[in-house]
Amino acid sequence: MYDVEKIRGDFPILSREVNGKPLVYLDNGASAQKPQVVIDAVTRGYAEEYANVHRGLHFLSNLATEKYEAVRGTIARFLGADEDEIVMNSGTTEGINMVAYGWGAANLRAGDEIILSVMEHHANIVPWHFLRERLGVVIKWVDIDSNGDLDPQRVIDAVTEKTKLISITQMSNVLGSVVDVKSICEFARGRGIPVMVDGSQSSVHMPVDMRDIGCDFFSITGHKLYGPSSSGAMFIRKERMAEMQPFMGGGDMIREVTKDVITYNDPPMKFEAGTPGIVQMIGLGAALEYLMDLGMDNVAQHERDLRDYARTKLDGLNWLNVQGNSATKGAIFSFTMEGAAHAHDLSTVLDKRGVAVRAGHHCAQPLMQHLGVPATARASFGLYNTKAEVDTLVSALELCHELFA
C-alpha cells in the first residue's frame, strides 16, 4: 500500500512554507528533495565515519572505504548490473563526458556517425559536439512525432554503415516522453553498435534493468534520485570498458607510476580518478535503498495516477498549451500560456502561491527549436506529490491566466 502522506513525512522540507504558502514542490525534474534517511546518512558520514577512501590503513579510512564501496553494490542492485560494471561519478554530466572522451575519442574518427534525438538534454549533446569539433564525427538527429514520442523505428532508419554510437534519453526531461530503448538496443546489438542510454530521468520514475534494456552505457544522477548532489554512476558493459581509455588521470586509477610508465588499476577503478564524493555517494546509497524499499513499481504506479489526474485537469485549461501528449509519458508537463506571459513570469507568479516549477529551455535547446518556443514552464512530479498539489497548481495557473490574459 503506497501511503503518500506517510512518505511525505520522510521529507522534512515538504512541511515548510514558501511565500507564506505550503510548499508545492514540482521541480523534481531539476532536482529532488531528500528523505531523512539520506540526510542522516550524510550527517553520520561526516560526524562519525569520515576519512579518505582506498588509501589508508587506519580504522576510519577502512570504515569510509567499506561504506563507500558498499554503495557500488547498491547501485548494481538498483540497476540490475554487476558491481564491476558500475563507475561511480558526480552525475550524468561527468558520466557522458567520460564516455565521450574515454570511449568516443578512443574509438571514433572523422566521418563516423553518432545518432541523437532532438529531445536530448545538453549533457547528452555537448560532449558529442566536442567530438564533432575535435575529431570530425557527424551528429545525426532523429525527430520526435507530434505527440512528443520517439519512434524507435526512426532511430533504426537513421542507422548507416557509418553509425558508431546511438545515444538516447529514456525519458525526456521536458516532455516526459518515454523511449522504447530496449528495441533500439536489440537492433543495435545485432549490428555491433553501442547504445548509450541517458537514464537521468527514467531511473527516478520507473524500474530500470540493464540486462533487460540491453544497453552498453546507462547513466544515473544522484540528486534527481533523492540523493545528494555530485553523486551518480555510469553502468558500462564489460566489453565496452575494455575498449575505453581513462578519461581523467590521477590518484586511485593507477596501479603503478614510474618516471617512464604507468599501469592502470582494474576497471571500474581505472575510470575513477582522485578523491570521490565520498559522503555524497554514501548518501546516494541511502537514497537508492529508500527507493528499493518503496519499490520502483509502486513509485511508477503512483506517478502514473498523478500524471493521469494532472493531464485531465490541465487539458481542461484551454488557454494552456501543454507540449507533447505521449500516452506513456512520465508525470512531467511543459507548457506555455496563450496570448501572454513568458514562462519566467508564469514561474514567478506560481512561486508566490508556493508552487515551485522551472522555466526556461531546460538545457534542451534543440527541442525548444523543434517545438518552436523559446522556453516553457515545467511542472515535474515526484514520488511525494499528491493530487491536492495538482489542484493547487491548477488554481495558481488560473490566477496567472487572470493576470496575464
Ligand X SMILES: Cc1ncc(COP(=O)(O)O)c(C=O)c1O
Active-site amino acid positions: 363
Report the nearest approach of ligand X to the CB of residue 161 (Å): 29
Other C-beta atoms within 10 Å of 373: how many?
16
Is the CB of 93 or the CB of 326 nearer to ligand X? 93
Half-sphere exposure of 379 (CA within 13 A, CB side): 30
Query: Which three cell numbers, joined as nine digits, stand for 227?
Result: 540523493
Provide CB contacts within 8 A for 125, sequence distance 6+. 116, 366
Q: Are 379 and 333 in contact (CB under 8 A)?
A: yes
Looking up cell 514558501 gives 18
Measure the CA–CA gap between 360 and 364, rounded to whole angstroms: 9
d(CA 384, CA 61): 36
Q: How far is the CB of 94 from ligand X (least distance, A)?
A: 7
What is the rounded end-to-end Cα distance, in angstroms, of the chain?
43
Q: Where does this chain bind ligand X (CB under 6 A)?
A: 91-93, 121, 123-124, 169, 173, 198, 200-201, 221, 223, 363
**Cβ contact 168:117 at 8 Å:** yes
Q: Are strands 217-221 and 17-18 parallel, antiparallel or unpaired?
A: unpaired
In whole angstroms, the minimum distance from the beta carbon of 31 to ligand X comes to 8
CB-nearer residue toward ligand X: 182 or 361? 361
C-alpha distances (whole Å) from 181 to each of 101, 173, 197, 215, 339 are 23, 16, 7, 8, 37
Q: How far is the CB of 174 from ligand X (least distance, A)?
A: 8
Smallest separation (angstroms) from ligand X to the CB of 334: 12
Give, for 308, the enclosing helix (H) or strand (E): helix 296-315
Q: Which three cell numbers stand for residue 135?
A: 575529431
> Which of helix, strand or coil describes residue 116?
strand
Contact status, residue 186 vs residue 214, Cβ threshold 8 Å: yes
Which is nearer to ligand X, 350 or 364 (by Cβ)?
364
**Are the C-beta atoms of 223 and 28 separated by less than 8 Å?**
no
- Cβ proximity to ligand X, 120 vs 341, nearer residue: 120
Q: Compute the least distance from the CB of residue 364 to ligand X, in Å.
A: 8
- Is residue 115 within 8 Å of 142, Cβ to Cβ? yes
122 vs 182, beta carbon nearer ligand X: 122
Strands (E), 161-261: 163-169, 195-198, 217-221, 232-236, 254-257
Burial string for 95-112 (b: 16+ CB within 10 Å, else e) reads bbbbbbbbbbbeebeeeb
Residue 291 C-beta: closest distance to ligand X, Å = 17
CA distance 96 to 84: 18
3-class DSSP state of 389 = helix
Q: Which C-beta is closer to ligand X: that of 215 or that of 341?
A: 215
Q: How far is the CB of 363 from ligand X (least distance, A)?
A: 6
